Copies of this chain bind each other. A is one copy, B any other.
Amino acid sequence: MADWQEISGGITAPRGYRSAGIRAGLKSSGLPDLALIVSDVEAIAAGVFTTSHVKAACVDYCRQSLQAKHSARAILCNAGQANAATGHQGWLDALESAMAVAQALNIPSESVLLASTGVIGQRIRMDALKAGIPKLVAELSETGSDAAAGAIVTTDLVTKSIALETMMGDRPVRIGGIAKGSGMIHPNMATMLAFVTCDAAVSPTLWQQMLSRAGDRSFNSITVDGDTSTNDSLIALANGQSRTPAITEMGAEAEKLEAMLTAVCQHLAKAIARDGEGATCLIEVQVTGAQDEQAARQIAKTIAGSSLVKSAIFGRDPNWGRIAAAAGRAGVPFEQENLKIKLGDILLMENGQPLPFDKKAASEYLKQAAQGAYLKEDTVLISVSIGTGSSSGKAWGCDLSYDYVKINAEYTT
């Protein structure tokens, strides 16, 4: 079992981090829209970014920066304008934003990473951003996590934050994270952003590997509506301020750190899926018996992303046929004679054939589970086994409701 505990403090729970979030006037709503995360010392930095071929300037900027130099001191995030599809001017705006932060913090501009979320095709309101940065720096605080979490959201219903702590030797090591999800009440605001802070000391290569795997097991395993954004970014800093021995290769300590990093990412990813537009519950799909983890995850994600499965869950309809059909079309070969499907603890299909089951009880399970009766969260659990392989994988999604259509259709220009 996990040998860590949840603590308060979000991204400023690890030692040596300060953050802030302010209203800089980027959002027309006047809500907080500019966040800054700063490490007291240069931190090892890793990132995972959108795989889209249409990318925001900040994504290009971070990719280049992290290729040249695997460390950073600060992450600036603006909400309101995505700075995607903004051409060369967008690139210049990104450079200028980084320079403004560097100047205010008196650090090299190469130590500043960037993220944006908001409307695609709109330049950042640079005057407001530049005017806001000194104020933002003045607000930096060791209890500033919530302010930052509140300034990176767009149409999220809730902010997303977590911090975990474990002991390494006799010293605590902490990882904190904040995220925003794919709330798309307004168009073109589908961005998923997550920022993770850690006070362990870890080598750059290892930290990037850990983050890539944790990203696959969390943010890359959730699906709200299958759309990937131009701005998706996961950035993680590790600043060594826990004063624990440096982790430079895989081993017990590294595994412990990676497990905790994965737990932080999964917490944030599930919070994003749960906050999916119009969603009434979280859907967790567990696939076992696969030949490898990626195959298992692929099937899990296909089921969690199926519009038919999602609308059946919204209707609290125990429709195993849609689950079987989604598993079959995931692109992963398996023998259908081995297919087994469970909804909670109720066995619906075994050896590739439907079992007689109490439909009322199964529907009742869905109603109760969606209200949080089983997993402490409002989570519907679908378990699928596809064979005798030893690998498993999970994915998360949300149900598909009338409100999803309403939210996404009723914006009229």
Contacts and interface: CB of A to CB of B under 8 A. Distances in A.
Contacts of A317: 187, 409, 411-413
Contacts of A322: 187-188, 227
B402 A363 contact: no
A405 B402 contact: yes
B413 A228 contact: no
A316 interface: yes
Interface in A104-136: 119-121
Nearest to A119: B321
Nearest to A355: B121
A197 to B, nearest CB: 28
A139 to B, nearest CB: 32
Interface string A144-170: 000000000000000000000000000
A311 B405 contact: yes
Given A311-B405, A409-B312, A413-B363, A52 B87 contact: no
Contact of A308 (B54, B190, B353): B190
Given A315-B412, A321-B188, A230 B53 contact: no
Contacts of A412: 315-317, 363
A58 to B, nearest CB: 14
Interface stretch (A93-101, A260-268, A281-289, A323-331): A323-331
A405 B327 CA distance: 21
Contacts of A11: none
Contacts of A374: none
Q: Which of A314, A328, A333, A334 has the most CB of B within 10 A?
A: A328
A320 B413 CA distance: 12
Contacts of A306: 226-227
**Category for how many chain A residues contact B:** 35 or more
A408 interface: yes
Contacts of A352: 54, 85, 87
A336 B402 contact: no
A401 to B, nearest CB: 6
A218 B325 CA distance: 22
Contacts of A52: 325, 328-329
A378 interface: no
Interface string A336-354: 1101000000000101111
A319 interface: yes
A246 interface: no
Contacts of A50: 329
Contacts of A353: 85-87, 121
Given A190-B308, A406-B402, A408-B307, A325 B87 contact: no
Contacts of A408: 307-308, 311-312, 315, 400
Interface string A231-262: 00000000000000000000000000000000
A225 interface: yes
Contacts of A406: 402
Q: Which of A226, A305, A332, A401 has the most CB of B within 10 A?
A: A226
A213 interface: no
Given A52-B329, A306-B226, A121 B321 contact: yes
Contacts of A336: 53-55, 85
A221 interface: no
A360 interface: yes
